[in-house]
Structure 1
Amino acid sequence: MTIAVAYRPDDFGRAALDWAAAEARTKGESLLIINVHRVEPRLDTGHAKGRHLQDLTEGLAKDNVPYELRQVEGENVASTVLFEAEQASASLVVIGVRPRSPVGKILMGSVAQQILLDSAVPVVAVKP
């Protein structure tokens, strides 16, 4: 089976990836790392690139965790993550969560909330 992880190059994405990698090692499963960007990748801070991406892939290879990295464009990050997870027949989706005020949630929505509510498989929310 596959564990899907929604990944951003920040502390929250790293916490989700670390948890998912440990779970994949324990269960003998592979990882699907989903990195979604909304606009031109060079302009999107959520797009993993360069040295950061190299460190990520080298770390997983060193830990002997089989993985696939999908860097995809999507206007709706949550829907894109769920679509990619479904395409891979993921048994679990792992997300990093950050604290947000009630007003912040109303004004900007929440990718994590949409994934939690719309996922057809269990979701694990991880905090750094």
Structure 2
Amino acid sequence: MVVVAAYAPTSQGDAALEAAIRDVAVTDRELLVASFPYADPFEGACCANAEEVQEAINRVSARMSHDERAYLETLKVRVREAGAESSRDIGDFLLRVAREENASVIVIGLRHSAPVGRLMLGQTVKRLLLEAPCPVLVTKD
């Protein structure tokens, strides 16, 4: 079974990556990082590649226990980038990846919000919760 972590280089992406790594460390599943387009102020729209994802893994692993970091040494991480042919809709991309990979869970990061905004989830999150073929783990940055 595969854990799909939604990733873009933001604090929400880091939160999703960290939660996904902790999940695979306990469940011994495979980790697939679904890298979706984000707006870079200098480059425009781009996706994090495998090297950038590995840098993010190294960054979030600093907050993990010694045992979790040791497990990371043995973990093989796959990265799937949303290509140019991919829909611009992040929800479409994540749902497609989850179905094609027979995901056991999708892990996404959610922006920390004020108490008033806690009940108002974004459209992409709502769609994933309703249409995903597997459980969706939502974590805050």
Task: Determine if the TM-score, normalized by the shorter chain, exceeds 0.5.
Answer: yes
Q: How many residues align?
A: 122
Alignment-derived partner of residue 23 in structure 1: 23
Paired residue for 1:6?
6
- Shift in CA distance, 51/35, structure 1 to aligned 2, threshold 3 Å: closer
Match in the other structure for 2:66: none
Contact 2:17 2:57 (C-alpha < 8 Å) held by counterparts: no
Q: 1: distance between equivalents of 2:104 and 2:49?
A: 27
**What RMSD, in angstroms, separates the aligned Cα atoms of the two structures?**
3.1
2:48 alignment partner AA: A
- Residues 38 and 75, structure 1, Cα contact 8 Å, conserved in 2: no
Distance 2:7 2:139 in 1: 12
Unaligned runs of 5+ residues in structure 2 are 62-68
Q: Unaligned regions of 5+ residues in structure 1, if any?
A: none
What is the aligned partner in structure 2 of residue 67 from structure 1? 77
1:31 and 1:51 map into 2 onto residues whose CA distance is: 15
Larger Rg: 2
TM-score, normalising length: structure 1: 0.78
Shift of 1:117: 1.5
Deviation string, structure 1 residues 62-113 (Cα, Å, up to 9, x no partner): 71322210111321110111101111111101100123876xx69xx52222
Q: TM-score, normalised by structure 2?
A: 0.71
Divergent runs of 4+, >2 A = 49-54, 56-62, 99-102
